[in-house]
Chain A
Amino acid sequence: MPAYFDHAATTPLSALATSALVEQMAKIGNASSLHSPGRLIRKDVEEAREQIAGLVDANPSEIIFTGSGTEANNLALKGFYWKAHAQDPQRRVVLISAIEHHAILDPAEWLDEHEGAELVFIPVTSAGSVDLVFLTDFVQRRGSEIAVIAVMHSNNETGTLQPIAEVVAIAGDIPVHTDAVQSFGKVDFSFSQLGVTSATISAHKIGGPLGVAALILRRGLDLTPILHGGGQERDIRSGTLNAPSIVSFAAAAQESTSKMAERAIYIRSLKKYLVESLFAIFPDITVNGDQTHSLPGIVNITFPGTESDGLLLLLDAEGFYCSTGSACSAGVPRPSHVLLAMGVSERDARSSLRFSLSFSNTRAEIDQLCEVIGSVVHRARAALARG
Chain B
Amino acid sequence: MKLIAAMSGGVDSAVAAARVAEMGHEVVGVHLALSSNPQKYRSGARGCCTIEDSHDARRAADVIGIPFYIWDMASEFHEGVVENFIAEYSNGRTPNPCLRCNEKIKFAAVLDRARALGFDGVVTGHYAQMKETSAGRLMYRAVDPAKDQSYVLAVLNSEQLAGAHFPLGDIVKTDTRKEAKARGLYVANKPDSHDICFVPSGDNAGWLRDRLGSESGPIVDESGEVLGEHQGAYTYTVGQRRGLGLTVPAAGGIPRYVLKIEPKTNTVVVGAHEALAVEKIVGDRPIWCGPAPISGRDHRGFAQVRAHGQPLACTYSHNNLEITVHLDEPLFGLAAGQGLVIYDDDRVVGSATVSETA
Residues of A within 8 A of B (CB): 309-310, 312-314, 316-317, 327-333, 379-380, 382-387
Contacts and interface: CB of A to CB of B under 8 A. Distances in A.
Interface residues of B, number: 23
Of the candidates B33, B54, B76, B116, the one having the most CB atoms from chain A within 10 angstroms of its own CB is: B116
Interface stretch (B67-75, B284-292, B323-331, B337-345): B67-75
Interface stretch (B107-115, B121-129, B147-155, B215-223): B107-115
Nearest to B71: A309
Of the candidates A310, A331, A384, the one having the most CB atoms from chain B within 10 angstroms of its own CB is: A331
A379 B117 contact: yes
B58 A310 contact: no
B54 A331 contact: yes
A385 B69 contact: no
Of the candidates B69, B74, B113, B117, the one having the most CB atoms from chain A within 10 angstroms of its own CB is: B117
B70 A332 contact: yes
A295 B337 CA distance: 59
B51 interface: yes
Contact of A383 (B36, B38, B69, B113): B113
Contacts of A310: 113, 117
Contacts of A387: 76, 109, 112-113, 116
9 contacts: A309-B69, A309-B71, A309-B72, A317-B28, A330-B33, A331-B58, A332-B36, A380-B117, A387-B116
B117 A333 contact: no
Contacts of A312: 69
Contact of B116 (A309, A328, A331, A379): A379
A310 B67 CA distance: 13
A357 B112 CA distance: 34
A382 B31 CA distance: 21
Query: Is the contact region of chain B dominated by helix, strand, or loop, or is it mixed?
Result: mixed
Contacts of A382: 116-117
B118 interface: yes
A332 B38 contact: yes
A247 B263 CA distance: 73
Nearest to B118: A379
Contacts of B118: 314, 379
A313 B67 contact: yes
A172 to B, nearest CB: 40
Given A309-B69, A313-B28, A387-B112, A330 B54 contact: yes
A330 B51 contact: yes
A328 B71 CA distance: 12
B72 A313 contact: no
Nearest to B32: A332
Given A313-B28, A328-B38, A332-B33, A386 B67 contact: no
B347 to A, nearest CB: 30
Contact of A313 (B38, B51, B69): B69
Contacts of A385: 116
A371 B239 CA distance: 63
Given A317-B28, A330-B51, A383 B70 contact: no
Given A328-B38, A383-B117, A333 B112 contact: no
